[in-house]
Each structure stands twice: as C-alpha cells, then as structure tokens.
Structure 1
Amino acid sequence: TAAEALADAGLQTPPARPDRVGCVLGTGKGGLQSFTRLWHDLRNERGLGETTTRDPTEWFYCWPNAAAAVVSHVFGLRAVAVCPVAACATGLASVAYAADLIREGRCDVVLAGSADASLHPSLLAAYRRLGVLARAFEEPSRAVRPFDRNRNGFLVGEGAGMLVLERWEHAQQRGATPYAEWVGWAGATDVHGLIALDANGTALAQLLQRLLEQTQLSWDEVDYINLHGTATRLNDLCETRAVKAAFGRHAPHLSCSGLKGALGHLLGAAGSVELAATALAIRDRIIPPTVNLFEPDDLCDLDYTAGTARSRRIENAIKISLGFGEGLGVEACTEPGRS
C-alpha cells in the first residue's frame, strides 16, 4: 500500500531529500498476530520460564511502531517516523499529525496512514461480548447495515490506507496533481464512557462546530460528510444527531455516506482508508454509497446516499472518525487550490 501511494504520487525512492520526507503510520494495536505466534512458541517449545526466541528481532514486529519504522527503512525516508494509536480514530489521527508536520515546516512530504490486522480470536471474542458485532445474518456481504432500521453491529475487516501529503509549493514545483487539499482538523474526547458515546451527540456536534470555526468554513459550504457509521444502534444515532445539531437547517442538504457496509470495520485502518475514499470522491465528483441501507431508521434521517453512488461536485468535505476510549476526530478537505 505504501509503495502504491508513493508511485501514484510520482515520488522517487529513496527521495532526493530524505531528511524532508517523513512517515506517520498508525496501528490500532501493534503486531497482535506476531505477539500471539511468539507467545505460543514460548509456551509450547521452550516453556514459560524461557525468555529467548530463535530470532530475538522477531519481538520488534510486536511493537506498535514497527510498521512506521519498516516503511521508513524500505523507502529511505529519514525524517520523523511516528506511530499514533487512537483506536478506531488512528487513521485520521495519523494523517492529521502528518499535516501538522508539513504546516510546521518540519517536512515537505509525509507518507501517512494506518494499518490493522485484527481477525484474531481474542479480539473478536471481546467485540462479541461487547455486543457490537453483527449477528443473525445469512449473507455476510449484507450483514453490516449502517443507519438501517435493522442494523445490529459491524464485522471486523483488515486493511491499510496510505496517503501522500505534500507541501503545496513542493507539489507545484514538481508538477504533481493533488486529489484534494487538507484544510484542517479537530479532536476531542467524549467523556460519556470508555466504550459508549453520548447518544445525543453533544460532544461530536461541538467538535464539528469547532472544526468549522478553525477552518473558516460556513456550515452551508460543506457538501459531503464521510461518516464513521459502524452500524451499531448507538453510533449511528449519535452521528446523525451530531450532524443535525452542528449544521442546522443545512443538514438535509448534505450528502453523507458510511463505507463499513462494503468494507467492514477496519478498526485502526478505517480512518485513513475512508479518508482516501473521500479524497477520491472529491476528485471524481461522486458521492460513494452507503450499501445495505434497505430500511431507513426514522431517527436516522440524513441523506446517506443509500445503495447507489451519486454524481455531485464536492467543494468541501468532512471526515468523521470515532474511537473506543471516546477519541473523536474530524477533518476537512477541499478541492485543490480552493483554500
């Protein structure tokens, strides 16, 4: 994924100025699969009292920052290599950190995004006990139903999303064609609970209003919102109420969608993958659909672009990410050259 992002951006590796190119690659929980494999090796082959492995460097791949370090090494990136961890908001937090590195003048280019591989028995069992996984479905592709009357949870997916962020003048000098332009971001914490959002969406509504103030966007200038949309009873209601509270009478005119019905919940990778989809929506002037929305919930009454993509020019878009631990993240991007 990192190689594809760099190639798509037309950037050579190693870069001519490696000290000006950074990597911000978040993971929701580090190398869980590697840790499990090594733990079984210790138990089954060497006993609980042994602390060595065949290759001591294997433990490196258990660390959350391993992905950022490896990607930087492979592509010869010598500026900062950082691994944000913010649960399901990790992807958005990673790209926001990268944007700040550029705006502070510390980097000209940052390879940013997130990855997650969480199809692990212990994690799936924990989500099942929390009651957030979809259940009682016959066809997995129709199991996750964001904003639907009959939604009952998500399915876990695995994946990664990487984006190239670049200082505007640097991109112009080399003739690059950006898909979208980063405008700004805002973050907050919903103190309602560690795994439960405020159903009224108050904290998220205030955060969206703060984002509009910081980016100097008026509420009626926003065309599209890419929602977190986990298809749980509480999340979808919280997001809907927050958007309506923040955008007032403009809310019915917003195009919205949630992608987890098609992708599953990529957890730590969700924010960067869905942000990449938002950038492509701006480029292609197409609102991606919310799939599996068959019976709208009366309480979820925004325009979710149910079932089928729709053509629309997107001058300004917002991405929302929500994470366990109640980390909230929102960002705004626009057509290139507008900000």
Structure 2
Amino acid sequence: MERVVITGMGVVSPIGNNIQTFWNNLINGKSGISTIDTFDVSNHKAKIAGIVQDFDAVEILETKEVRRLDRFSQFALAAAEQAWTDSKLDLDSIDAEKLGVYVGSGIGGIETLIENIDLLRQKGPRRVSPTLVPTMISNAAAAQISIKWNAMGPSMSPVSACAIGNTAIGEAFRLIRSGEADVMFAGGTEAAITDLSIASFGNATALSIRNDEPTKASRPFDENRDGFVMSEGAGILILESLSHALHRDAKIYAEVIGYGASSDAHHMVATHPEGKGAYLAMKSALKSANISPEEIDVISAHATSTKVGDISETMAIKQLFGKRAYQIPVTANKSMIGHMLGAAGGVEAIALAMSLNEDVIPPTINLENPDPLCDLDYVPFVARKMKIRNGLSNSFGFGGHNSAIVLKKY
C-alpha cells in the first residue's frame, strides 16, 4: 500500500486567510468571534459568530465568476488555490485521471438559496436565477475545484454534517493508499452564517448567547459554556502518495496514517451520552494507523462548547486511553475559531499538521472554570511546546456521524 502525505495546505478562517496568519493567531490564543454585522441581529437570541474578515474573492477569481459562485464555493477555491500553490505541484506533470477532489459542505449554498426564495416571493418565478441549483448544491465546491484544476480522478462531496472534513481526508487517504489516486484535494468548506441559520440554531438553544463578550463565548469544557458559536471558512489539504511526493522532492508537512468512522445510531442532533460512536471512530483510526493508544501524543478534540458533546467526548477519550487519557494534551481549536461546521475538520487537520511540524500545541482558551466531568489536560490558555510524533483529530456531526484521523510527524 502507498503511504500518504500532506504536501499543501490552504485556509480561510475567522482568524486568518492564509496558513501563517491562521497558525500565529491560533497558538497565541486569539479569538475570531465577533458581533454579526452582515445582517440585522436585533431580534435574534444569538448575535455573534466567527465571520471571515478581509476576504475578497476577486483576488483569485474573475468578477463574472464570483457572481456565479456562492460564498462557500469562493472559500473553497481560495483555500484550494493556497494549497495548490503551497504544494508546488505542476499540472503538466500530473496524470489528470489520478488527481481527485474530496471536498464537502454541510449546508452548501444556503445564502444563494435564501436570496432566490426572496426573489421568488417578491418578484415571481421569472426572477429566480437559472443557475440557482448548480450554485447552491453541496457538491458545487468540489466540482468547481475539479473543473479549475482539470482533476479527472475520483470526485466526491461527502455529507456527514460536521464530520465532513475528516470524512473527506480519510476517504481521500484510502484512495491514495490503494493506488487509485496520486494526488487529492481534501477538506471542507462552509458559509452558513445567515439570518435563517442563526434563527434556527438559536431557537434550538444550540448557540451561545454570550453576546456581550463574543471572544469569551466559545468555551469548550468550561462549566459556564452555553452553546457553540457558529463560524465559517474553508480548510483544504493536498494529499499525495509518498512515492509521488518524493519523486518531485516535495515539502511534506505530515503523514496521514489512519482513519476511522462510525455512527452513534442514537439521535439526529444529540451525541451518544456515553460517547460510544466517538470511541469507535478513534479506536478504528488507531487500528487503521497500526499504532497503540500509548503512541498518541496529542488529541485535537471536536469540542464544540456544548455540555453533552464535551462530556461525551471526554468519556470516549477515557474509555479508549484508560489512565493514560490524563497524560495526553487535548486541545480545542473551536475555542478560538468557533464551529465551522463542514469546514471544521479540514481546518483542524491543518492545525494538527502544523503542530506536528513545529512541536507546538495550540491552547484551549476561555477555560476559566472547568466542568468537573471534563477533567483531562485541555492545554488551558497558553500554547505548549513539546515533542509530538502522532496526533489524533476528532470530528463529529448531526445524525451521529463520527470521523477521526491520525497524523504522524514525517
């Protein structure tokens, strides 16, 4: 079987729209959460989100093209462009049939859908865009990347809710390992901070309403957390077979060595209270990586800042790692970037790859009063310098979808 490595990365996020800015802000504990200013939130329960700042799609796309793309596709193309440039791959020297795209989105082009529903109701059916469907469907981002880079290999837009990023990376990893692809774009993208989305999640009491302190609202594992903070962006990685990467003397960030997936088979929105699905996904990922629990040096937790989710993930970690669970640093990127939904796994995989590269673990901020049931080492407040060989990253989603990947220092 082929070994699989990461040779390029690109990010669009509330704390930076390139890898270095994103990483510097992450390890310095900077929050990207702010008051929503893109629409009127005066009647909403939750008035805060992780909004991407200073993003101009025209910098990478033609103006006419931008008009035909929903924001989630714009984010994906921007992150993919960064990752491609970073990888230094050359299209002329690649077999197009073995270049693939696995990039997903949990909600897709909801902004475009809402705009056209408004047009339909206000001005009638003739004003609805003929490009509505290809613009809003969840596979649009993957398709646009495939078209731009002439990627004629396997292309898929996995939909596993907030587990998407890891699902995409893991399934792309399997394709390369089996020899079906040489190079894959993999990750997730999301742009769902809309009037409708905030209203729905807010009415479900899922969102934090710490509106007067946005930067302190996302607080995984903290006793005083009151829900997650919705966010947006994209995280795209270039996965490549090791032989392909070595042949061109590529820079390698990390090696992907394991992937596991499972289902809670429990509830549409609530995680399994004992973390059974999370445990099974992590266990499967370690088995796939052919390593023991003793060999994991850091865990990037899903950790959305919800009571049931944080506790169940902590329970799952304890079940898998036993007493050693207390010795493994567990970090929560969402404390700074919020919950990027379908983009979360891709962005957090990038953070883990950077950790392996630089031997630094980002902190979990806002952990002022730890929940007694969340008693592991969550790297509070300050980044930690330490040697890291293997890292595990978790992503879980509505419907009970769970996915975990294992990255190794190369």
Normalised by the length of structure 1, the TM-score is 0.94
Question: Structure 1 residue 14: deviation in Å?
Answer: 6.0
Residue of structure 1 aligned with 2:261, choices 171, 187, 190: 187
Describe how 1:99-178 pairs up with structure 2 within 5 A.
Answer: 99-178=173-252
Question: Structure 1 residue 98: deviation in Å?
Answer: 1.1
**In the alignment, structure 1 residue 263 sits paired with structure 2 residue 341:** no
| Unaligned ranges ≥5, structure 2 | 1-78
Give the counterpart letter for 1:132 in structure 2. A
Tell me the alpha carbon deviations over residues 114-140 of structure 1, each in whole angstroms, 9 at most, x when there is no partner.
Answer: 100111122212211222111244210
CA distance in structure 2 between the aligned counterparts of 1:36 and 1:141, rounded to whole angstroms: 29
**In the alignment, structure 1 residue 293 sits paired with structure 2 residue 396:** no
Tell me the alpha carbon deviations over residues 144-186 of structure 1, each in whole angstroms, 9 at most, x when there is no partner.
Answer: 1111111111111110000000001000000012111011111
CA distance in structure 1 between the aligned counterparts of 2:278 and 2:229, rounded to whole angstroms: 24
Residue of structure 2 aligned with 1:213, choices 264, 267, 287: 287
- Name the counterpart of 1:18: 96
Give the counterpart letter for 1:235 in structure 2. G
CA distance in structure 1 between the aligned counterparts of 2:366 and 2:347, rounded to whole angstroms: 19
3-state SS in 2 of match to 1:56: coil
Q: Does structure 2 conserve the Cα–Cα contact (< 8 Å) formed by 1:15 and 1:21?
A: no
Q: Does structure 2 conserve the Cα–Cα contact (< 8 Å) formed by 1:14 and 1:77?
A: no
Give the counterpart letter for 2:106 in structure 1. G
Question: Structure 1 residue 113: deviation in Å?
Answer: 0.9
CA distance in structure 1 between the aligned counterparts of 2:288 and 2:181, rounded to whole angstroms: 22
Instruction: Give me the CA root mean square deviation.
Output: 1.5
Give the counterpart letter for 2:123 in structure 1. E
- Name the counterpart of 1:242: 316
Q: Does structure 1 conserve the Cα–Cα contact (< 8 Å) formed by 2:119 and 2:128?
A: no
Question: Structure 1 residue 217: deviation in Å?
Answer: 1.0
Question: Structure 1 residue 142: deviation in Å?
Answer: 0.9
Give the counterpart letter for 2:108 in structure 1. G
Tell me the alpha carbon deviations over residues 11-31 of structure 1, each in whole angstroms, 9 at most, x when there is no partner.
Answer: 124653222211111011221
Moved over 3 A (4+): 13-16, 52-55
Q: Percent identity?
A: 35
Question: Structure 1 residue 32: deviation in Å?
Answer: 0.8
Question: Structure 1 residue 199: deviation in Å?
Answer: 2.0
- Name the counterpart of 2:120: 42
CA distance in structure 2 between the aligned counterparts of 1:80 and 1:15, rounded to whole angstroms: 18
Residue of structure 2 aligned with 1:278, choices 325, 345, 352: 352
Question: Structure 1 residue 85: deviation in Å?
Answer: 0.6
**In the alignment, structure 1 residue 2 sits paired with structure 2 residue 80:** yes
Normalised by the length of structure 2, the TM-score is 0.78
Tell me the alpha carbon deviations over residues 37-68 of structure 1, each in whole angstroms, 9 at most, x when there is no partner.
Answer: 1222222222xxx3x55752343101111111
Tell me the alpha carbon deviations over residues 228-269 of structure 1, each in whole angstroms, 9 at most, x when there is no partner.
Answer: 011111111011111011100111110110111100110010
Q: Does structure 1 conserve the Cα–Cα contact (< 8 Å) formed by 2:282 and 2:403?
A: no
CA distance in structure 1 between the aligned counterparts of 2:223 and 2:335, rounded to whole angstroms: 14
Give the counterpart letter for 2:122 in structure 1. N
Q: Does structure 1 conserve the Cα–Cα contact (< 8 Å) formed by 2:257 and 2:408?
A: yes
3-state SS in 2 of match to 1:102: helix
| Unaligned ranges ≥5, structure 1 | none
- Name the counterpart of 2:151: 77
Q: Would the alpha carbon gap of residues 15 and 159 (structure 1) be closer, same or farther in structure 2, given more than 3 Å must change?
A: farther
Question: Structure 1 residue 206: deviation in Å?
Answer: 3.2
CA distance in structure 1 between the aligned counterparts of 2:400 and 2:191, rounded to whole angstroms: 21
Question: Structure 1 residue 333: deviation in Å?
Answer: 1.2
CA distance in structure 1 between the aligned counterparts of 2:148 and 2:92, rounded to whole angstroms: 9
Equivalences, count = 332
Moved more, 76-85 or 149-158: 76-85
Q: Does structure 2 conserve the Cα–Cα contact (< 8 Å) formed by 1:148 and 1:294?
A: yes
Tell me the alpha carbon deviations over residues 317-337 of structure 1, each in whole angstroms, 9 at most, x when there is no partner.
Answer: 10111100010111111111x
CA distance in structure 2 between the aligned counterparts of 1:327 and 1:266, rounded to whole angstroms: 16
Give the counterpart letter for 1:167 in structure 2. S
Tell me the alpha carbon deviations over residues 213-236 of structure 1, each in whole angstroms, 9 at most, x when there is no partner.
Answer: 332211111000000011111111
Question: Structure 1 residue 76: deviation in Å?
Answer: 2.2
Q: Would the alpha carbon gap of residues 54 and 246 (structure 1) be closer, same or farther in structure 2, given more than 3 Å must change?
A: closer
